[in-house]
């Protein structure tokens, strides 16, 4: 009888362990963006791009699906929405209207998905995992993160034109398809247009539909934690409209790791994903 009781206790504990986490499937587009299927206000089925650099949600003017049950005020803001994504139900979600989003998406959803929880971005299995308690971190490297108005910031070392390593801060930006995008300040200080080998140039639109001239070059080295990337593809803006105030660690770099963010948002834990050695994203 004692053995049977112990077995039942073990099975019950195992059940609780399973219930201590939730899984949300996603798909990755060819532009490196993460897309989740959602239902807003129980009526509007939307494909939303996960944007790690924002907390709330937004709706794109170029959406393919109807969002008739999200009611916006004169300031193009909608409050108190309900969003169902996988097993997670979010309440009181704010949406902004008319913000451009990634290809194949109807809008964006931010980190309110994981409010107060430890969460994993598992690129190997195309899923988010939300934890009620700390997961096994064996094989992961800790990486200090900072929060600035809800944006995750990490430090990385850069080597430009044979110069010594210089630490720079990057905002994690899952909406930017490329790898590294430098701020105007870093670009001008390091004279990237002169010192880097330029391999591409294109005009892009930002979320406010403004045209931006962007150039792509080759950076000799970038170091994140103990991970070193050689001849990495990076980008920076040129021309008269220079509004890039922060540097981005974009989706092409994010996908090269599996990420676990602690509930306090003080530390991220990373290890290489199956995309770690993939060719770098190039501007077409």
CATH label of the domain that carries residue 256: 2.40.70.10
Averaged pLDDT of the chain: 90
Of 111, 131, 151, the residue at which a domain comes to its end is: 131
Do the strands 166-173 and 247-250 form a parallel or antiparallel pair, or are they unpaired?
parallel
Residue 9 has pLDDT above 70, yes or no: no
Clarify whether residues 159 and 259 are in a common domain: yes
Residue 188 has pLDDT above 60, yes or no: yes
The whole model's pTM is what?
0.88
Question: CB of 38 within 8 A of CB of 92?
Answer: no
Clarify whether residues 79 and 105 are in a common domain: yes
Is residue 14 in some structural domain?
A: no
Min mean pLDDT across 30-39, 67-76, 242-251 is at: 242-251
The more confidently predicted of residues 132 and 20 is 132
Q: At 222, list the tokens.
A: 């970038």
Clarify whether residues 211 and 248 are in a common domain: yes
Question: CB of 67 within 8 A of CB of 83?
Answer: no
Is residue 4 in some structural domain?
A: no
Q: Where are the alpha helices (DSSP H) in 99-177?
A: none
Clarify whether residues 194 and 166 are in a common domain: yes
Comparing CA positions, the residue from 270, 183, 166, 282 lying closest to residue 231 is 282
Q: pLDDT band for 203, please (50, 70, 90 cuts).
A: confident
- Mean pLDDT of the 58-63 span: 96
- At residue 256, φ and ψ (nearest 5 deg) are -80, -5
Clarify whether residues 92 and 159 are in a common domain: no
Of 72, 104, 131, the residue at which a domain comes to its end is: 131
Clarify whether residues 213 and 256 are in a common domain: yes
Clarify whether residues 267 and 149 are in a common domain: yes
Residue 12 has pLDDT above 50, yes or no: no
Spatial neighbors of 80 by CB under 8 A, at least 6 apart, are: 91, 92, 93
Clarify whether residues 102 and 187 are in a common domain: no
Q: At 29, list the tokens.
A: 């587009």
Residue 216 has pLDDT above 90, yes or no: yes
Give CA–CA dist 217/39, Å, rounded. Answer: 40
Is residue 183 in some structural domain?
A: yes
Q: Which domain holds residue 77?
A: 19-131
Residue 166 has pLDDT above 60, yes or no: yes
Stated as kind and residue range, the H or E segment containing 141 is strand 141-144
Q: At 47, list the tokens.
A: 């494909």
Stated as kind and residue range, the H or E segment containing 96 is strand 88-96
- Mean pLDDT of the 202-209 span: 70
Residue 162 has pLDDT above 80, yes or no: no
Clarify whether residues 126 and 36 are in a common domain: yes
Q: Is the dihedral of CA 237, 48, 280, 223 positive or negative?
A: positive
- At residue 227, φ and ψ (nearest 5 deg) are -95, 125
Q: At 37, list the tokens.
A: 């299927």
Clarify whether residues 127 and 23 are in a common domain: yes
The more confidently predicted of residues 3 and 214 is 214
Clarify whether residues 36 and 126 are in a common domain: yes
Residue 158 has pLDDT above 50, yes or no: yes
From the CB of residue 105, how many other CB atoms can be counted at a distance below 10 Å?
27
Is residue 5 in some structural domain?
A: no
Is residue 148 in some structural domain?
A: yes
Of 80, 104, 131, the residue at which a domain comes to its end is: 131
Provide the pLDDT for residue 121: 98
Clarify whether residues 156 and 91 are in a common domain: no
Is residue 191 in some structural domain?
A: yes
What is the domain count for the chain? 2
pLDDT in tens, 73-107: 999 999 999 999 999 999 999 999 999 999 999 99
What percent of the chain stands above pLDDT 90? 77
Which residue's structure tokens are 């949600």?
Answer: 57
């Amino acid at each position: 009888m004692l053995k049977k009781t112990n077995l039942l206790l073990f099975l019950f504990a195992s059940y609780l362990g399973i219930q201590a986490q939730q899984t949300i499937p996603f798909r990755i587009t060819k532009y490196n963006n993460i897309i989740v299927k959602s239902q807003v206000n129980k009526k509007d089925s939307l494909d939303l791009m996960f944007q790690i650099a924002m907390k709330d949600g937004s709706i794109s003017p170029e959406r393919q699906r109807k969002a008739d049950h999200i009611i916006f005020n004169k300031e193009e803001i909608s409050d108190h929405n309900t969003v169902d994504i996988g097993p997670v139900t979010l309440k009181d979600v704010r949406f902004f209207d008319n913000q451009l989003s990634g290809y194949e998406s109807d809008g964006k959803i931010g980190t309110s998905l994981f409010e107060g929880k430890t969460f994993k971005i598992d690129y190997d299995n195309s899923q988010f995992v939300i934890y009620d308690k700390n997961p096994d971190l064996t094989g992961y490297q800790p990486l200090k993160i900072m929060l600035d108005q809800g944006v995750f910031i990490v430090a990385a070392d850069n080597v430009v034109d044979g110069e010594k390593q210089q630490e720079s801060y990057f905002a994690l930006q899952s909406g930017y398809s490329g790898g590294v995008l430098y701020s105007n300040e870093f670009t001008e200080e390091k004279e990237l247009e002169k010192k880097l080998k330029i391999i591409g140039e294109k005009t892009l639109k930002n979320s406010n539909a403004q045209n931006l001239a962007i150039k792509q070059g080759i950076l000799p080295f970038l170091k994140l934690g103990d991970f070193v990337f050689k001849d990495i593809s990076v980008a920076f803006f040129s021309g008269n409209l220079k509004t890039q105030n922060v540097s981005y660690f974009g989706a092409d770099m994010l996908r090269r790791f599996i990420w676990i963010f602690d509930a306090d948002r003080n530390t991220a834990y990373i290890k290489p994903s199956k995309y770690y050695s993939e060719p770098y994203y190039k501007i077409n």
